[in-house]
A and B are shown apart, each in its own frame.
Chain A
């Protein structure tokens, strides 16, 4: 019997590198860019578009001029440095007018006020946005709108104090009314605050202002412009439209006929009318109804209408989320014996708002960009209002892309941060499929 030598390999073979077609850059290219004839065409088309864009804009951006006093000077510098046919960006206009793009005509000696307000904005919204921030800061968040109002517009501090006092009295009424249930609490709170504002607030304010004239120099609304205006209107409308939108959404699903009808009417009317129409109403039509000489602040008017507009959209976003909740959630809340407001607060809304985050943030982003429409009522929005009069200065007449790019970048910064935060929030609140 012949000895059979079993062939057993004792050592592992060294790993072969993957075939050239299945690894490395080549594989990636084949898999992602050239996997089919259609993809080959699309890839080349895409590369061509990118090349075209870069080849056209790169020289223009490379030939940027920052230090000049007029467009003519920019052109002279560009021609001198890069030849007579070169084109280049003239950022000198931004250097010359950046403060107007950011603050409009806000008096320069008081410029610390909007800057402070903007810095404090982040302190105020931090506890709302991030749960790791101490809860005590929420008190500052509550006080912030009035503080901002006072810092931005100036005047004596007492009107803001009166408004705050009204809210305080309202809160007191709410607590007293709490023993009569949610409805009692809300109605007593509202009634107390309204009574305070209607009857003693104005005389009290005058008396206090006469005794203790604490205040800042007044800055009128027509001096607001640029991003100061956009952020003031935008942040104000975002802060006010969310609660208002939620209430409208709840009202639209209410069983009470009158409330439901009012909410439907409001939402459908506001959504059915273009924002520009509403702005025209705010700026022009209201003047016909108000007594002559009434100085109903234009920014306040615009703010109210923009808030209404955003609230109507938010209401529909939230209503969609409310409809998406399984019926069992409502029934479970009822079964626990919770009353309407408690059920909404503890069970329904936390889930509904979580679902509607992308929609709400989209609405906010859209609304923030829509603030540039105030240009149509003669306010200086950063995109067109400021650029129009900058171009009306002969030194900068003929400038076109630079202001748009500058303003577009700042808008992108704001909106991209909002969108990123929304994604973070969605991740954090994710409770399913972990």
Chain B
């Protein structure tokens, strides 16, 4: 606790009300620390280990931005946010950046006065059922009981899906993922529905994963991405292009292993511009030449981050799917660095 603040509170200092500052970049630089809003705990995406060090797919974005802006990927203050507090925390200025598996939707982008800086994971809602239920498609779930987290977009998607297919279902309301798994395993519901990435992790953690199947249907689009405040376009640019740099780095074969060598200069002018050996893209977003190099070096390019946190080599074992490069049939497509 800042003690001077405590004194300040005692003295009832006259606080001057003011809107959240426009220049987030200056604030972050002055503070020397990036306040990054993350999930309070989601397998593979954000979780502190036994020593309190945060790691995960979302956390890696925070680290990359901190590396680009402050030159040190460890200068991040992770602010755990819940589903209820996340957007308010961002709007009120408590955090500079929100990377908390938040779905990019129309109302969040416009009505909530937020800006999604891009998509770091294309997710979608799926179903898991017990194998002995004998169901192979979500279309056969008519009359099923479904465990569903209340107050989420998944709840609305579920209603839409069953309505569109003229089927009925009985929802079993649950509060958290852990509770949902417990209810599903106890047989309270026939099917458990949540984001496909979450289902994969949940299934992998079961004692008998072979007895459960994830149905092939994905019933919704859940583009998850980093969010910034509406109205500070400079800061939004930095986050957007940091994410793009990670994606582009994978496309051009820039990895944390070869980045030092490549930054000495290559035949590929785009790589040179990305790593700052040619031109000065950094200056245009208020950073130095090597911002993207540091962002990539922090945790590797997009592919490396994916593989290390949620990829097929990890227990969660997610395939790239939609999250492959556009050259590989996925949706990742970084605009040119020019």
Residues 63 to 101 of chain A near chain B (Cβ within 8 Å): 71, 75, 96-97, 99-100
Neighbouring B residues of A296 by C-beta, 8 Å: 5, 9
* Interface check B257, CB cutoff 8 A: no
* Interface check B164, CB cutoff 8 A: no
Task: From the candidates B6, B50, B84, B316, name the one contacting A300 in the complex (CB within 8 A).
Answer: B6
Encode A384-398 as 1/0 by CB contact (under 8 A) with B: 110111111110011
Neighbouring A residues of B49 by C-beta, 8 Å: 393
Neighbouring A residues of B182 by C-beta, 8 Å: 400
With both beta carbons as reference points, the residue of chain B lying nearest to A194 in the complex is identified as B11
- Residue pairs across A and B with Cβ atoms less than 8 A apart, 27 shown, are A99-B50, A149-B6, A159-B4, A201-B11, A202-B7, A220-B1, A222-B77, A223-B52, A280-B84, A285-B92, A287-B92, A287-B93, A288-B92, A291-B16, A292-B19, A294-B5, A294-B15, A300-B1, A300-B5, A385-B80, A388-B40, A389-B41, A392-B47, A393-B43, A393-B49, A394-B204, A400-B181
* Interface check A289, CB cutoff 8 A: yes
**Chain A nearest CB: distance from B50 CB in Å?**
6
**A393 vs B44: C-alpha distance in the bound complex, in angstroms?**
8
* Interface check A155, CB cutoff 8 A: yes
**Chain B nearest CB: distance from A226 CB in Å?**
11
Q: Which of A115-123, A171-179, A371-379, A422-430 contacts B (4 or more CB under 8 A)?
A: A371-379
With both beta carbons as reference points, the residue of chain A lying nearest to B207 in the complex is identified as A75
Neighbouring B residues of A283 by C-beta, 8 Å: 85, 89, 94
16 additional A-B pairs beyond A220-B1, A287-B93, A376-B82, beta carbons within 8 Å, are A105-B52, A159-B6, A201-B7, A284-B94, A287-B94, A293-B21, A293-B27, A295-B5, A297-B6, A300-B1, A376-B84, A378-B81, A380-B80, A391-B177, A394-B316, A398-B205
**Chain A nearest CB: distance from B21 CB in Å?**
4
**A223 vs B3: C-alpha distance in the bound complex, in angstroms?**
16
In the complex, which range does the number of interface residues on chain A fall in? 35 or more
* Interface check B176, CB cutoff 8 A: yes
**A394-B205 contact in complex given A376-B85, A378-B40, C-beta closer than 8 Å:** yes
**Chain A nearest CB: distance from B291 CB in Å?**
24
Task: From the candidates B2, B47, B205, name the one contacting A389 in the complex (CB within 8 A).
Answer: B47
Encode B52-93 as 1/0 by CB contact (under 8 A) with A: 100000000000000000000000011111101100110011
Q: Is the interface of A mostly helix, strand, loop or mixed?
A: helix
Task: From the candidates B11, B51, B315, name the one contacting A198 in the complex (CB within 8 A).
Answer: B11
* Interface check B335, CB cutoff 8 A: no
Contact B1 A394 (CB under 8 A): no
* Interface check A353, CB cutoff 8 A: no
Which of B46, B206, B316 has the most C-beta atoms of chain A within 10 angstroms of its own C-beta?
B206
Contact B178 A297 (CB under 8 A): no
**A388-B201 contact in complex given A96-B50, A100-B50, C-beta closer than 8 Å:** no
* Interface check A266, CB cutoff 8 A: no
Contact A385 B2 (CB under 8 A): no
Contact B85 A280 (CB under 8 A): yes
**Chain A nearest CB: distance from B78 CB in Å?**
8
Residues 171 to 229 of chain A near chain B (Cβ within 8 Å): 194, 197-198, 201-202, 205, 220-223
**Chain B nearest CB: distance from A58 CB in Å?**
19
With both beta carbons as reference points, the residue of chain B lying nearest to A96 in the complex is identified as B50
Nearest first, the 9 closest Cβ-Cβ pairs linking A and B are: A389-B41, A392-B41, A159-B3, A392-B47, A287-B92, A105-B52, A397-B205, A398-B205, A388-B41
Which of A104, A299, A394, A400 has the most C-beta atoms of chain B within 10 angstroms of its own C-beta?
A394
**A283 vs B37: C-alpha distance in the bound complex, in angstroms?**
14
With both beta carbons as reference points, the residue of chain A lying nearest to B310 in the complex is identified as A394
**Chain B nearest CB: distance from A105 CB in Å?**
4
* Interface check A153, CB cutoff 8 A: yes
Contact B52 A100 (CB under 8 A): yes
* Interface check A162, CB cutoff 8 A: yes
With both beta carbons as reference points, the residue of chain A lying nearest to B316 in the complex is identified as A394
**Chain B nearest CB: distance from A379 CB in Å?**
8
* Interface check B319, CB cutoff 8 A: no
* Interface check B314, CB cutoff 8 A: yes
Task: From the candidates A96, A159, A280, A291, name the one contacting B17 in the complex (CB within 8 A).
Answer: A291
Task: From the candidates A156, A291, A391, name the one contacting B15 in the complex (CB within 8 A).
Answer: A291
Contact B40 A292 (CB under 8 A): no
Residues 302 to 331 of chain B near chain A (Cβ within 8 Å): 314-316
Task: From the candidates A156, A394, A398, name the one contacting B206 in the complex (CB within 8 A).
Answer: A398
With both beta carbons as reference points, the residue of chain B lying nearest to A79 in the complex is identified as B207
Neighbouring A residues of B6 by C-beta, 8 Å: 149, 159, 163, 297, 300
Residues 377 to 422 of chain A near chain B (Cβ within 8 Å): 377-380, 384-385, 387-394, 397-398, 400
Neighbouring B residues of A71 by C-beta, 8 Å: 205
Task: From the candidates A108, A163, A222, name the one contacting B7 in the complex (CB within 8 A).
Answer: A163
**Chain B nearest CB: distance from A150 CB in Å?**
9
Contact B3 A197 (CB under 8 A): no
